[in-house]
Amino acid sequence: MSVELDKNYQPNEVEPRIYKMWEESGAFAPAIDKSKKPFTITLPPPNITGDLHFGHVSFLAYSDMYGRFWRMKGRPTLLLPGTDHSAISTQVLVEKLIAKEGLKRQDLGREKFLERVWEFVNTYRPRIQQQIRAIGVSADWSRERFTLDETIEKSVKQFFADLKRDGLL
């Protein structure tokens, strides 16, 4: 039985399916082995303010290269993905969006404005995550973090409280 291949490679038809298979198989999750030194990279989180740019792609590609290298060497390897809420940039973009409606954030009030910010975040965060996957980054998405996750937020608050307590802030 022969299968005829399309003479033009169609990456959008092939690559998402392969990446999904890798992700679902656990290929990107480190196998804990206390006898081996782990290798971990916390990927610098891109802002959720739109699309990835060449700078993002560069650092993600280098991080992925190092992760794959150490995985091939047999070390438990974790590439920890995440996204950053980018408070000021996100606020500016949401303010521009509501300005198109003839509104200012003050017109909405704090709670309604925060609702609009979260709508924006919930639109663009999956988009950024999908772009990172499309690049082929071998990150463990089961551990993905967002800078406004409750545990991250608590850690940051505690960190600054400790700095203040120690007279460093």
pLDDT at 84 over 90: no
How open is the CA angle 134-48-61, to the nearest 5 degrees? 40
Average pLDDT score over the chain:
91
Class of the CATH-defined domain 33-85+122-165: alpha beta
For the chain, the C-alpha Rg in angstroms (whole number) is: 20
Residue 87 in 3-state DSSP?
Answer: helix
The overall pTM is greater than 0.85:
no
Residue 159: beta bridge partners?
Answer: none
Tell which wins on pLDDT, 106 or 83: 106
pLDDT at 7: 87
Residue pair 23/134 in contact by the 8 Å Cβ criterion? no
The span from the first CA to the last CA of the chain, in angstroms, equals 72
- Taking only the tens place, the pLDDT of each residue in 119-135 is 988 898 899 899 999 99
CA gap 78, 41 in Å, rounded: 6
